[in-house]
Chains A and B, each alone.
Chain A
Amino acid sequence: MNSSDHPLDRFIADLCGRSPLEGSDIAALKALPFRMRRVDAGTYLVREGSVPDHCAVLVEGYAFRQKVTGDGSRQILAVCVPGDAVDLQNIFLNVSDHSVQMLNKGTIADLLREPLQELVMTRPRLARALIQQTLFEASILREWVVNVGQRDARERIAHILCEFAVRLESRGLAGKDGFELPMTQEQLADAAGLTSVHVNRVLKGLEKDGLINRRRRHIHYDNWRALQDAGDFTRGYLHIPGEDLVDQAFAV
């Protein structure tokens, strides 16, 4: 990271890419008090039931949202990538309704809740941009309800891979040959509502059919369209503007 870089750069770039912000809004965001911290894999950034006093922005590393049911099984609700605010909902909700945990090690910028609240109360344009972020998140959640509710195991996993590819691409974090997926098969299973044995079988199947190649945690795909097709994936619900760069890169 250059000394001129601001830890919120990726977060701000994503906001600006989706809604018009002015220089003064960006300056105000950058002037917010925050605390940087390095976190290990598995660290809880938010715990279900806790009363939040800050909003964390993921600077480096990946995190996931999760809830645990009464019988102890876990459902992963979303994967957060660098530049995501992991608990923006806590800006105005007083109790966390789910937990957020790091997938790997990373860096967090904690924004204090009250200055952030004051900022959005006085800056309507910035508030709009942040509300939009929560709306995009909700749209992804709706698609996840569909994914676990109606798709078969192979479609579910392929859909999650496609979503990850497009979201990483939009943040400049995916290569044109694929991406790093810092999730274990057990975590993928918890995101897809499957068992890890089942996920293992599905990944092998996708590999056998030539849709993906795996090297450790690296997922490589030769035929983006075929992978999209396997996952019943269309990117509209991500509300990511601009060209489909992944599509371009793989256009025949």
Chain B
Amino acid sequence: MSDVHPLGALVRRWSRFADLPQGDRSAILQLPFTKRSYGKDLYIVREGQETSECCLMLSGFSFRQKLLRDGSRQIISFHIASEFVDLQNGLLEVADHSVQSLYRSEVAAIPRSALTELADARPAIRRAMWVDTLIDASIFREWVVNVGRRDSRARIAHLICELIVRLEKQGLGSDDAFDFPITQEQLADATGLTAVHTNRTLQGLRREGLIELNSRSLRVLDRDGLREAGDFDELYLHQAV
């Protein structure tokens, strides 16, 4: 059942973070949710809005972002299938940033009260949910380092390394080829670089024989070289909690 149920991905995800008894697994599958589809650039969550649900990605890509008063944008994370884009809104009253669909995406919107009740009643789920938010925070720490202290080549390479590890974890991508709908402008906003600089950096990584990036598809040619270039160590992703 869990293979066809949209929330089956959540059961699998949280099973990695805690030993979930059968009753907990069934309870997750019984969570109420609304399935929603979003086109490119549409808002899934808006900064400042009161929160009433948490959205689990079922397919596609989305990103979190904050806008500055001068209109510049910082992307603070990308999200793929089976990840929550706003689990924090299960406990925080107001969204402190926005989430946008990067490319066609589908989400399961789960009422926050249903999630918090589940966490209150079931310790193993509580633990899994907590770990999920802790990994989120760990990734943000690494992004502060990436943008604060790495040069442009390392920033871009690091970001690509992170995304391919996460995509592979979800079984998305094979033979080092990945669906990669992130534009150069979005890569720039995620790394604090200009679009021109990002373009030049990507060309450099291509020339070095590390990656091939065409419209919407990424091929990794030299994985070790890319990790080296990105100063990448996946410890912070806490894949083995």
Docked complex Cα distance between A221 and B74 (Å)? 29
Interface residue A13 (Cβ < 8 Å from any Cβ of B) = no
A interface footprint on B54-65 (CB within 8 Å = 1, 0 otherwise): 000000000010
B interface footprint on A140-168 (CB within 8 Å = 1, 0 otherwise): 01111110111100000000000000000
Docked complex Cα distance between A94 and B131 (Å)? 10
Give the residue of A125, A134, A148, A236 whose beta carbon is less than 8 angstroms from that of B130: A134
Q: Are B92's CB and A239's CB within 8 A?
A: yes
Q: Are B150's CB and A69's CB within 8 A?
A: yes
Interface residue A73 (Cβ < 8 Å from any Cβ of B) = yes
Q: Are B76's CB and A124's CB within 8 A?
A: no
Residues on B with C-beta less than 8 A from A213 are: none
Interface residue A25 (Cβ < 8 Å from any Cβ of B) = no
Residues on B with C-beta less than 8 A from A178 are: none
CB distance from B14 to the nearest CB of A (A): 12
Docked complex Cα distance between A73 and B154 (Å)? 13
Q: Are B148's CB and A121's CB within 8 A?
A: no
Q: Are B235's CB and A97's CB within 8 A?
A: yes
Interface residue A65 (Cβ < 8 Å from any Cβ of B) = yes
Docked complex Cα distance between A240 and B149 (Å)? 29
CB distance from B18 to the nearest CB of A (A): 8
Which of B68, B97, B133, B148: most chain A CB closer than 10 A?
Answer: B148
Instruction: Name the residue of chain B whose CB is nearest to the CB of A156.
Output: B148
Which of A67, A74, A127, A149: most chain B CB closer than 10 A?
Answer: A149
Q: Are A145's CB and B147's CB within 8 A?
A: yes
Q: Are B142's CB and A92's CB within 8 A?
A: no
Interface residues on B, range: 35 or more
Interface residue B129 (Cβ < 8 Å from any Cβ of A) = yes
Q: Are A135's CB and B92's CB within 8 A?
A: yes
Docked complex Cα distance between A77 and B8 (Å)? 35
Q: Are B141's CB and A139's CB within 8 A?
A: no
Docked complex Cα distance between A70 and B235 (Å)? 14
Q: Are B144's CB and A137's CB within 8 A?
A: no
A92-B241, A93-B131, A121-B127 known; A137+B148 contact, CB < 8 A:
no
Residues on B with C-beta less than 8 A from A223 are: none
Q: Are A151's CB and B133's CB within 8 A?
A: no
Q: Are B92's CB and A232's CB within 8 A?
A: no
Docked complex Cα distance between A121 and B231 (Å)? 37
Q: Are A151's CB and B137's CB within 8 A?
A: no
A93-B138, A93-B238, A97-B138 known; A70+B231 contact, CB < 8 A:
yes
B interface footprint on A87-106 (CB within 8 Å = 1, 0 otherwise): 00101111101100000000
Docked complex Cα distance between A144 and B138 (Å)? 13
Q: Are B231's CB and A77's CB within 8 A?
A: no
Interface residues of chain B, those whose CB is within 8 Å of chain A, are 17, 48, 64, 66, 68-69, 72-74, 76, 88, 91-92, 94, 96-97, 116, 119-121, 123, 126-127, 129-131, 133-138, 140-145, 147-150, 154, 191-192, 231, 235-236, 238, 240-241
- Interchain Cβ contacts under 8 Å between A and B, 15 examples: A77-B145, A91-B130, A92-B130, A93-B241, A97-B138, A121-B126, A122-B123, A131-B133, A137-B137, A138-B136, A142-B140, A145-B74, A145-B143, A149-B192, A150-B72
